[in-house]
Structures are given as C-alpha cells and as structure tokens.
Amino acid sequence: MTPMTEEAFLDALRSRGADRLRRVRFRWNRRTIWSLTQGGTVLNLHVGFRQTTPDLLDHFALIVLHPRGGPPTVRRARDRVQRHPPLRDALRRIRATPPPRARRRTRRGLRPGPNCATPAQQVYLDELYRHLAEGAFPDGLPHELPLRLSHRMRSTLGWVALGEREGARAVGELALNLDLMLEVNDELRVEVMLHEMAHIEAWLLHGDRGHGAAWKAIARRVGCRPRARFDTQVTARPHRRDRILRVPPLPA
C-alpha cells in the first residue's frame, strides 16, 4: 500500500472521473470515516485511508460520483472502503486514547464562564441554590459553588461543569439561561435548577455525569422530571441582546 498526500489523493480521484472534487482532507476522526461537504466538492477522509491502493481509489471515485444512492457497484464500494485494513487499525489506535478535545474542554469547563447576572440577581442565585440544597440535597452538594447567568445559551437551559481536580471528582460551576429570569419561566427555572443540582450529586456521589440511573433516581427524589430534555418551552426575551434585570422571589 502506498501512503498518499491529500493532493495526490485528489489528483488520483480526478483522473478517475471525479471532476467536481476540489479538495481532499485527511481527518483524525474517532467515528466518521468519510464525508462529502461543500456541495460534494470536498472529500473528508479518515487518516486511515492515507495508506491506499488502486482499488480503494476506484471505490472512492465511484462514491464521489454517486454521493447518494447509485447502482449496486456504488453500494459495494461503500462497503469495501469500510473494511480497508489500515482504516480499522487507525480507528483502534485512535479510540484507545482519550479524545484530546474532551480533555481540553474538561480543563476549561471547570473555570466559570462569563456571568451576566446583576449583583441582585447573583444574590438571588446564591440564595436559591442554598434554599434548594437545604431542602432536597442535605448531603450531596458543595456548600459553595460558582453560579452564573448566561445570555449566550439558546436551546440549552442549564449547565453544570463536571470534571476532576487532583484526581477527585469536582464541579466547576452551575449556569442558567438568562431567559429563565422572566416571570413566565418561574416554575421552569426551579425545575432546571433542580435538574442541574441532581447532576452534581449524581457526579460527586456516583460518578454519573449523564442522565443515567443514579441521576434519574435523584431527580425523582427531589421532584423534577427524570428526563434529559424539558417538555416545557422556555419563553425567550424578544431580542438576544436584551437584558433582564428582574429578581424573582424564592420558591415557597
């Protein structure tokens, strides 16, 4: 098998009739092995295809010429590229190591992000956290935790930064969508807060950082729905740049 550069791979495919192709890019992906982007003019290939054969080039030329469907020869070509031995070896090596982006995200995530809360809203967040922790989380949550409001969240309503410090499980912050401070979202805001606080307990006590069995049991215990997504739609401020200065009352 011959290792090829991106330019050589592109020239080989174009010589086989893939005239629309303008670029080939090799990628260190963990799952995706190939994709066509930019209207079918860019072929993104797993780095495992760098070691290639004439047959493999023929298969990819067919795939590029028929990106959707095609005759049986195209379906066979898609199947054969998936069984390319260097690809399988490269995937095993990559998947055996932690993803670099995930490591960087964990380190950044334990540092609080930008906070758009006013001083009065910050006091409210701290009091809401203590109020709910005393009533529903007597043993599972940190006494002090960075809390903030985010005006950047769109579809996300809440967020907790979970990771490790010095080999121990840790929590970096809890953030809420600024839209939750609107009066119409009062009930939803409390549920989102409980949802995220349940994540903290599930992580610190059980090592569950998702919506697994431990989190679901805690969510039921504290009275929020044990679901990954919220059924209730948040009412958003009319314009993304609008500020919300309202300070809600604490729940009864």
Supply the pTM of this predicted model.
0.59
**Looking at the structure, do residues 126 and 205 belong to the same domain, yes or no?**
yes
Q: Which of 111, 128, 113, 114 is nearest to 181 (CA)?
A: 128
The structural domain count of the chain equals: 2
**Looking at the structure, do residues 75 and 157 belong to the same domain, yes or no?**
no
| End-of-domain residue from the set 63, 97, 131 | 97
**Looking at the structure, do residues 143 and 215 belong to the same domain, yes or no?**
yes
Per-residue pLDDT of the chain (252 residues; tens, 9 = 90+): 778 999 999 999 999 999 989 999 999 888 889 998 888 899 999 999 999 999 999 999 999 998 877 789 998 999 999 999 999 899 988 888 765 544 434 444 588 899 999 999 999 999 999 999 998 998 779 988 999 999 988 878 999 999 998 889 999 999 999 999 999 999 999 999 999 999 999 999 999 989 999 999 999 999 999 988 887 788 999 887 889 999 999 987
**Looking at the structure, do residues 42 and 82 belong to the same domain, yes or no?**
yes
**Looking at the structure, do residues 72 and 175 belong to the same domain, yes or no?**
no
**Looking at the structure, do residues 52 and 164 belong to the same domain, yes or no?**
no
Supply the range of the domain harboring residue 149. 102-222
**Looking at the structure, do residues 107 and 214 belong to the same domain, yes or no?**
yes
Question: Other C-beta atoms within 10 Å of 207: how many?
Answer: 11
On whether the CB atoms of residues 161 and 173 are closer than 8 A, the answer is yes
Q: Using CA atoms, how far apart are residues 159 and 152, in angstroms rounded to an integer?
A: 12
Identify whether 133 is part of a domain. yes
**Looking at the structure, do residues 138 and 215 belong to the same domain, yes or no?**
yes
Total number of residues shown for the chain: 252
On whether the CB atoms of residues 150 and 163 are closer than 8 A, the answer is no
Q: Using CA atoms, how far apart are residues 213 and 206, in angstroms rounded to an integer?
A: 10
CATH of residue 49's domain is: 3.30.2010
**Looking at the structure, do residues 107 and 66 belong to the same domain, yes or no?**
no
